[in-house]
């Protein structure tokens, strides 16, 4: 234990922060539009991982293609969530939140029935080997998460600031009633937000599939962390989610490296409690949830 | 008749907000609804733009019923609602706000033309297209909201309390702009608490009291009416 | 005097009947199922503890504050009971109040920061603080036993098997005495919760739900009342936890996780929280579904997921909204005129 593992730990923290960001951004964008809080965001992540397991390991598609395919597949589940749960419970955050807990149960059972619970599914590593840059040794597989996250967050930023429907999405988040008066269809926007939300969770899960063990309950831990991240960042703030994801990534990696992973989670939770007390709107948020 | 309300009523749950409201809006005129807070003025506008449904009566736009339509479809027909207060998109730039106003305008060229004609009314906004709307003063935000409403080149504009919370100088400026917009041949329904301002702009006015029309008539006639003077114009 | 007596009887006879039925449950079960009846008795006992838990959660929601850490409060009761009974040999009738006091203290510590938040943030914040407590259980081997938890929690000494009402399942594992302990405690808790619901406190809490600013202006200290209700709900959750700790004989941090919390939410959402009867209906109906789906238990989460979603989407008030309708229906059936 010493300074020599510092670059390595920073590298690990960046990887972890990226994956947190990918999952949390989806949560933030859904909450931003009509306060859709998805309890089972982790199950969408899990479905993304199963996309890679099925398409890449079972069907033999190229890994990259499987990851790309996970976006529309999980986005579709997000749209179904919107139609069946969030639209009927609109205006009641808790009802939607609790109902999605039920949806998470359903997804877990369906996946277990199709592919069995039994042994965790192992996905062979498509990019073996690793880097030894600046005294770090991180597998290519993990390192690949960073550029993909950057590309996807940049893509989202481009969509939200340059594309008409992306701007309309932001408008809906800021003032739904005024948006409707401009002719923006609220239902279309909530569906769009859930599609993006699902897609991000799906790609996150897809990228993690070769690294962690794939099982129907794998999403749980990521969902908990993603919720901590968006609360720290400010529920509907996307830059806040990214910032908080890296803060949490660093907290978890450093505490896990120098102490223990449970302490890492404890400090993360405590950090969130402090943020809630000191600044209930989150670091970069401006609406009290 | 561009717009006609026939014996409409609105209920929020079991509470009756307005009842038996009949209003006629001829093309090219400014019609004003005046009255105290909670008299049902805003509710009437919200009903026209589809944010709330009438529980009774008919809303006819160019002779066709629009009461069953969603707000976005009503906007598409050419009715723009400039909402009360500061309902701009605070974390978007002025330009983005105006683009949202033209959300239903499909062609890029048309949107460009609209933008230019809107900037003629609001030269002040042209200098600040990059500024976030949330950081502007109350009067400027009101201008953004009005400009945004004009971006869809509507035939009928519903303005909800455009002078609310503004300084007298700014109120005058807004009044001048409303006149300009009207001079272009657009029809306006103006909801105001500032009855003096509203009646000086409008041709015809309705006085609402506790959800009902208490009085109606030519704006000039209403200005001279003793009851209106006492209650709404602050004269003894 | 006579009149008030008859009123008292009129009001309480249904409850009294139910208590008597429950009191004879061990005999009935033994008659019908013999030694298998004990298994049913275990279910009934867990049911009673769950009713207390759901009812205490309903109390929590009267101010409009839904939490995600109620199972943690129950776990606090269970852990304290287990530690006292296992390591210090403290008897049944002492562990339960001590556990309740400890849980109230922990509830207070959790409620203090939480009371600064409302609505969704309160919900999520309670979850985070609850998880924090759960991590402590997982991390500390003494006294909480780490992630493997505590096992071999001694059975409470409630007399010899068969001392109570001469029930004897002729088994070393006879739990009929624990059943009576549970029944007495559950009745005590449920009556108390019922009185609390209609008390001055109950009214204050309900008025906080309808308009907290108004309450503040007429001199109700909203923050203090919200912390108080959190502690009171923790007290009753602790009772349920103690009973379950004795019943299970072993506990670990996973017994008090998010999935259990979601099932608790399902009970109260299905039953409803506006009236005292909602959670009772919820626990009863969902326990029934739980038992009926035993043959396909791998599909159980799916079934409960569908139940949760459909009751939130199609019946937001819960089953309790049907009570007035059914009573009206039966009254019409009997032919008595309804006076409303």
Nearest partner of C195 among C15, C45, C46, C66, judged by Cα: C15
Contacts of A178 in chain B (CB under 8 A): 83, 87-89
Given pLDDT bands bounded at 50, 70 and 90, which one contains residue A75? very high
Burial of B229 (0-12, 13-18, 19+ CB in 10 A): middle
- Taking the CA of residue C246 and the nearest CA in chain A, the distance in Å comes to 28
* Minimum-distance CB partner of A171 among B51, B83, B92: B92
Domains of chain B: 1-78+155-236 (3.40.50.300), 89-153 (no CATH)
Find the distance separating the first CA and the last CA of chain B, reported in whole Å: 37
Instruction: Using 70 as the pLDDT threshold, list the residues of chain C that sit under it.
Output: 1-4, 157-175, 335-340
* Residue A123 φ then ψ, to 5°: -110, 125
**How confident is the prediction for chain A on average, in pLDDT?**
89
Chain C neighbors (3+ CB pairs < 8 Å): A
On whether the CB atoms of residues B186 and B3 are closer than 8 A, the answer is no
Cβ atoms within 10 Å of C24's Cβ, excluding its own: 12
B75/A177 CB distance under 8 A: no
Helix H or strand E encompassing A131:
strand A130-131
Mean pLDDT by runs of 10 across the 236 residues of chain B is 91 88 93 88 92 91 91 92 87 93 91 91 91 91 93 92 89 92 92 88 91 89 82 68
- Per-residue pLDDT tens digits for A122-177: 788 887 777 766 667 788 888 899 999 999 999 999 999 999 999 999 999 999 99
Per-residue CA distances from B128 to A92, A138, A179, B136, B143 (Å): 38, 48, 22, 10, 12
Residue to mutate among A176, A181, A189, with most B CBs inside 10 A, is: A181
pLDDT of residue A118: 61
C301/A99 CB distance under 8 A: no
Residue to mutate among C313, C314, C316, C318, with most A CBs inside 10 A, is: C313
ipTM of the complex as predicted: 0.89
Tracing tokens 């003793």 back to the chain, one arrives at: B226
Structure-token pair, residue C296: 């396909």
- Taking the CA of residue C219 and the nearest CA in chain A, the distance in Å comes to 24
Burial of C25 (0-12, 13-18, 19+ CB in 10 A): buried
A180/B152 CB distance under 8 A: no
Nearest partner of A109 among C301, C293, C304, C263, judged by Cα: C301
B89/A174 CB distance under 8 A: yes
Do chains B and C have 3 or more beta-carbon pairs under 8 angstroms?
A: no
Contacts of C304 in chain A (CB under 8 A): 102, 105
Q: Residue B10 forms beta bridges with which residues?
A: B18
Which residues 6+ apart lie within 8 Å of A61 measured at CB?
Answer: A55, A69
Pick the residue from chain A with its C-alpha nearest to B76.
A183
Beta strand segments in chain B, E: 3-12, 15-25, 30-35, 56-61, 64-65, 79-82, 156-160, 187-192, 204-209, 212-218
Spell B91-118 as b/e; 16+ CB within 10 A means b: bbbbbbbbbbbbbebeeeeebeebbeeb
Q: Region A96-103: what's the mean pLDDT? A: 94
DSSP state of C300: H
C135/A84 CB distance under 8 A: no
pLDDT of residue A34: 86
Distance CA B152, CA B155 (A): 9
On whether the CB atoms of residues C308 and A39 are closer than 8 A, the answer is no
Tracing tokens 């993304």 back to the chain, one arrives at: A48
Q: Are strands B187-192 and B156-160 parallel, antiparallel or unpaired?
A: parallel
């Amino acid at each position: 234990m010493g300074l020599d593992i510092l670059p390595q730990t920073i590298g690990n923290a960046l990887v972890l922060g990226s994956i947190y960001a990918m999952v949390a951004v989806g949560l933030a964008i859904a909450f931003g539009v009509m306060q859709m809080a998805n309890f089972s965001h982790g199950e969408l992540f899990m479905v993304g991982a199963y996309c890679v397991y099925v398409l890449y390991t079972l069907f033999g598609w190229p890994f990259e293609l499987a990851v790309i395919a996970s976006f529309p597949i999980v986005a579709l589940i997000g749209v179904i969530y919107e139609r069946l749960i969030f639209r009927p419970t609109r205006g009641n955050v808790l009802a939607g939140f609790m109902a999605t807990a039920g949806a998470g149960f359903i997804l877990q059972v369906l996946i277990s029935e199709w592919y069995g619970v039994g042994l965790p599914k192992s996905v062979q590593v498509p990019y073996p080997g690793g880097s030894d840059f600046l005294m770090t040794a991180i597998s290519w597989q993990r390192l690949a998460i960073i550029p993909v996250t950057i590309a996807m967050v940049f893509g989202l930023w481009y969509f939200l600031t340059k594309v008409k429907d992306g701007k309309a999405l932001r408008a809906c988040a800021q003032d739904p009633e005024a948006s409707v008066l401009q002719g923006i269809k609220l239902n279309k926007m909530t569906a769009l937000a859930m599609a993006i939300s699902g897609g991000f969770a799906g790609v996150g899960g897809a990228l993690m599939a070769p690294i962690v063990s794939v099982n129907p309950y794998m999403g749980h831990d990521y969902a908990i962390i993603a919720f901590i991240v968006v609360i720290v960042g400010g529920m509907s703030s996307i830059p806040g989610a990214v910032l908080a994801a890296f803060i949490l990534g660093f907290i978890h990696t450093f505490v896990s490296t120098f102490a223990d992973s449970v302490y890492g989670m404890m400090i993360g939770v405590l950090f969130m409690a402090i943020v809630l007390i000191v600044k209930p709107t989150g670091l970069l948020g401006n609406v009290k949830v | 008749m561009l717009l006609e309300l026939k014996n409409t009523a609105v209920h929020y749950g079991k509470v009756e907000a307005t009842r038996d409201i009949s209003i006629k809006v001829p093309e090219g005129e400014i019609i004003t609804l005046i009255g105290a807070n909670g008299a049902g003025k805003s509710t009437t506008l919200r009903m026209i733009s589809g944010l709330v449904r009438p529980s009774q009566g008919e809303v006819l736009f160019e002779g066709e019923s629009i009461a069953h339509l969603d707000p976005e479809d009503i906007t598409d027909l050419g009715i723009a609602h400039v909402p009360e207060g500061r309902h701009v998109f605070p974390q978007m730039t002025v330009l983005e706000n105006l683009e949202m106003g033209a959300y239903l305008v499909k062609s890029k060229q048309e949107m460009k033309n609209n933008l230019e004609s809107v900037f003629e009314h609001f030269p002040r906004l042209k200098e600040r297209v990059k500024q976030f709307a949330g950081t502007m003063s109350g009067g400027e935000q009101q201008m953004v909201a009005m400009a945004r409403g004009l971006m869809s080149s509507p035939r009928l504009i519903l303005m909800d309390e455009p002078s609310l919370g503004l300084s007298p100088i700014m109120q005058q400026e807004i009044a001048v702009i409303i006149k300009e917009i009207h001079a272009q041949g657009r029809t306006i329904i103006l909801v105001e608490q500032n009855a003096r301002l509203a009646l000086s702009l409008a041709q015809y006015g309705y006085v609402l009291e506790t959800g009902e029309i208490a009085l109606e008539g030519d704006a000039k006639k209403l200005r001279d009416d003793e009851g209106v003077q006492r209650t709404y114009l602050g004269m003894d | 005097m006579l009149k008030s007596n008859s009123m008292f009887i009129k009001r309480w006879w249904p409850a009294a009947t139910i208590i008597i039925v429950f009191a004879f449950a061990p005999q009935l079960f033994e008659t019908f199922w013999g030694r298998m009846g004990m298994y049913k008795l275990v279910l009934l006992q867990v049911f009673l503890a769950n009713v207390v838990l759901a009812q205490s959660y309903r109390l929590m929601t009267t101010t409009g504050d839904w939490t995600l850490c109620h199972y943690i409060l129950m776990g606090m009761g269970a852990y304290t009971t287990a530690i006292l009974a296992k390591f210090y040999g403290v008897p049944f009738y002492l562990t339960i109040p001590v556990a309740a006091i400890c849980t109230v203290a922990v509830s207070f510590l959790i409620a203090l920061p939480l009371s600064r938040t409302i609505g969704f943030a309160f919900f999520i914040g309670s979850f985070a603080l609850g998880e924090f407590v759960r991590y402590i259980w997982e991390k500390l081997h003494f006294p909480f036993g780490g992630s493997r938890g505590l096992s071999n929690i001694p059975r409470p000494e409630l007399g010899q098997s068969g001392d109570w009402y001469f029930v004897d399942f002729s088994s070393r594992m006879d739990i009929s005495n624990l059943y009576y302990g549970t029944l007495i405690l559950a009745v005590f808790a449920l009556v108390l919760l019922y009185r609390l619901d209609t008390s001055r406190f109950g009214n204050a809490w309900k008025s906080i739900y309808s308009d907290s600013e108004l309450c503040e202006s007429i001199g109700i200290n909203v923050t203090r009342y919200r912390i108080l209700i959190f502690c009171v709900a923790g007290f009753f959750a602790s009772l349920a936890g103690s009973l379950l700790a004795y019943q299970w004989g072993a506990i670990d941090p996973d017994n008090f996780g998010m999935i259990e919390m979601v099932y608790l939410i399902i009970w109260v959402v299905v039953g409803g929280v506006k009236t005292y009867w909602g959670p009772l209906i919820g626990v009863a109906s969902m326990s029934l579904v739980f038992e009926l789906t035993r043959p396909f238990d791998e599909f159980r989460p799916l079934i409960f997921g569908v139940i949760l979603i459909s009751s939130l989407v199609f019946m937001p008030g819960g089953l309790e909204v049907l009570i007035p309708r059914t009573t009206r229906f039966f009254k019409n059936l009997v032919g008595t005129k309804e006076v409303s």
